[in-house]
Amino acid sequence: MTILMTGGTGFVGRNLTKVLTDTGHHVYITTRSPEKYFNTEQVTFISYDYPVADLPKIEAIINLAGDSLFGYWTKSKKEAIRKSRIETTQKVIEMMEQMEHKPEVLISGSAIGFYGTAEDLIFTEATERAGNDFLAEVVEAWERTASQAEQFGVRTVYARFGVILGEEGALPLMKLPIKLFAGGRIGSGEQWISWVHINDVVDMIRFCLANKQISGPVNVTAPHPARNKDFTNTLARVLRRPDWLPAPILAVRTALGDMSMLITRGQYVLPGKADMHGYEFSYPYLEKALFETEH
């Protein structure tokens, strides 16, 4: 399969590209600076302005581009988060429009932030109403932009990522206080963390590529979310460190601003479609996911 990917130089993109190329696919990766990378027999780096007519027949598009959520959410940071996702996705739609042969599928990155936060609700793909905070608004607009692919008859999947556990992403930030013997739950610790191991992220995307019956939102999360206090305790145990120093929510909000919502609030999200279509998780439980990430 010949695949066009945005965000291919990021954390998820690099892991996904390796597995795709190892299994015989060719990946064209769009980047602002293709000259920084070396092409191989199975990976070709191109600019966003690369002539679509010069591409081979693209069978699938995977759209993962977006400015990192990490960092103090100033007005300009929020604009970068929004703009990077929507403008890149719109560029993908424009490239698709120019293709003589449309791809079979678009898998567009999204986030469980769509649902907003709640302590006592369970969210699945059947939850149609978006939350009412900044991230939910961004994700809703992001998916709405990607949905334009449907007018070309392209099967469209919105991969709503949870908290991804791996060598990059959120986990290094989460484990740093614990490694420094200054870690503990956030506030009450009752808020839910809907997590997923990077290997399952890659495999679920591949699962969606191959399964023509899957479309619309897909929650890319493990089937067993954890409360913040249990996540922290498990992580501390894996790292062989104590988790005795709780972080007051007010202090976290003061330090991180609006971005603090990612860790001070929670959401219990289940992978309903993955279960329905028979996906088998490599890491359904937290302790194994954390242990194998750290060892």
In a 13 Å sphere around the CA of 190, the CA atoms on its Cβ side amount to: 4
Taking only the tens place, the pLDDT of each residue in 166-211 is 999 888 888 888 888 888 898 889 999 999 999 999 999 999 999 9
pLDDT of residue 226: 96
Q: In the chain, what are the domain boundaries?
A: 2-294
Class of domain 2-294: alpha beta
Q: With a threshold of 0.85, does the pTM exceed it?
A: yes
Backbone dihedral region for residue 86 (phi beyond 0: left; psi -120 to 50: alpha; all else: beta): alpha
Taking only the tens place, the pLDDT of each residue in 233-245 is 999 999 999 988 8
CA 26 to chain centre: 22
The residues pairing with 186 across neighbouring beta strands, listed in sequence order, are 247
pLDDT of residue 78: 93
CA 21 to chain centre: 20
Taking only the tens place, the pLDDT of each residue in 8-49 is 999 999 999 999 999 999 999 999 999 999 999 999 999 999
pLDDT of residue 184: 87
* 3-class DSSP state of 202: helix
Kind plus residue range of the DSSP H or E element containing 105: strand 105-111
CA R_g for the chain: 19
